[in-house]
Amino acid sequence: MRISLIGAGNLATRLGIALKAAGHDFVQVYSRTEEAAQCLATLLGAEAVTRPESLHPDATLYICALKDDVLGEVLKRVDVGDGILVHTAGSLSVDVLKPFAAKTGVFYPLQTFHKEREVDFGTIPVFIESSDKVVLFLLKQLVADLGTIAYEINSEERLKLHISAVFACNFVNYLYTISSDLLAEQKLPFEVLKPLILETSAKVQNLAPSHAQTGPAIRFDRKVMDKHLALLDKHAAWKNLYKELSLGIHQRSKSI
């Protein structure tokens, strides 16, 4: 399949590399910065462009992997011809693409991506939505080429999925950052937490998260929690977060 990528960020990079390895041909890569466009285009054997108007209307599929707030501004300058236009966002409806193409869809891999880190797409669920049966068939084939599973869900369901992913990934990573900063205050490396993080992640592969919960908050151990809160006096935001999370953990535990 002839594909053009609109975007050259973390997701576009990893997805482009995976689809290239699966046998697809890339025509062009767009990014507003020449360095990003050229870097990914070189990896994919495609032409780099920095103006949306420079994208040729002869690709089979246009994959838009842009930030939500710039997607419309860029796409109104793109002519996809008879091609299929899809976006990769968890939080945007498929309908946002209607002004820009007759055949549209969503191709949303549920994973966190970084340009420098390889991922195995064979382990990543992909959530799809389409404007018609032809697009649906093509997206299912694309997912199959990556060696993974396609899930058909609508835009409202995908938004709820996206919220759950924010809690499970983005918020958890922020908590790692707080942990790292607290350790740094004691001149301890973040590495000391890595075995704990790995075991916590491993437990939920076999247990429901609610049954894997441990710590002082689940039993509302006031003595321990008060000591922790005292140590957080100079970090008001973290202190409030500790209180809210502890209360939430305790209340959730009582409902089990």
Task: Examine the domain organization and report whether 21 and 132 are in the same domain.
Answer: yes
Q: What is the mean pLDDT of residues 201-219?
A: 95
Say which CATH number the domain at 169 has. Answer: 1.10.1040.20
Task: Examine the domain organization and report whether 20 and 141 are in the same domain.
Answer: yes
| pLDDT reported for residue 197 | 97
pLDDT tens figures, 12-49: 999 999 999 999 999 999 999 999 999 999 999 999 99
Say which CATH number the domain at 146 has. Answer: 3.40.50.720
Domain final residue, candidates 153, 186, 204: 153
Task: Examine the domain organization and report whether 11 and 47 are in the same domain.
Answer: yes
| pLDDT reported for residue 227 | 97
pLDDT at 217 over 80: yes
Task: Examine the domain organization and report whether 97 and 182 are in the same domain.
Answer: no
Which residue range forms the structural domain that includes residue 12? 2-153
Domain final residue, candidates 129, 153, 177: 153
| pLDDT reported for residue 254 | 84
pLDDT at 86 over 90: yes
pLDDT tens figures, 58-67: 999 999 999 9
Task: Examine the domain organization and report whether 121 and 191 are in the same domain.
Answer: no
pLDDT tens figures, 150-208: 999 999 999 999 999 999 999 999 999 999 999 999 999 999 999 999 999 999 999 99
Task: Examine the domain organization and report whether 133 and 162 are in the same domain.
Answer: no
| pLDDT reported for residue 255 | 82
Q: What is the mean pLDDT of residues 52-76?
A: 97
| pLDDT reported for residue 92 | 97
Number of domains in the chain: 2
Domain final residue, candidates 93, 127, 153: 153
Q: What is the mean pLDDT of residues 81-105?
A: 97
Task: Examine the domain organization and report whether 33 and 75 are in the same domain.
Answer: yes
pLDDT at 256 over 80: no
Task: Examine the domain organization and report whether 147 and 205 are in the same domain.
Answer: no
For the entire predicted model, the pTM comes to: 0.92
State the pLDDT confidence band at 9, using cuts at 50, 70 and 90.
very high
Three-state SS string over the chain comes to CEEEEECCCHHHHHHHHHHHHCCCEEEEEECCCHHHHHHHHHHHCCEEECCHHHCCCCCCEEEECCCHHHHHHHHCCCCCCCCEEEECCCCCCHHHHCCCCCEEEEEEECCCCECCECCCHHHCCEEEEECCHHHHHHHHHHHHHCCCCEEECCHHHHHHHHHHHHHHHHHHHHHHHHHHHHHHHCCCCHHHHHHHHHHHHHHCCCCCHHHHCCCCCCCCCHHHHHHHHHHCCCCHHHHHHHHHHHHHHHHHHHCC
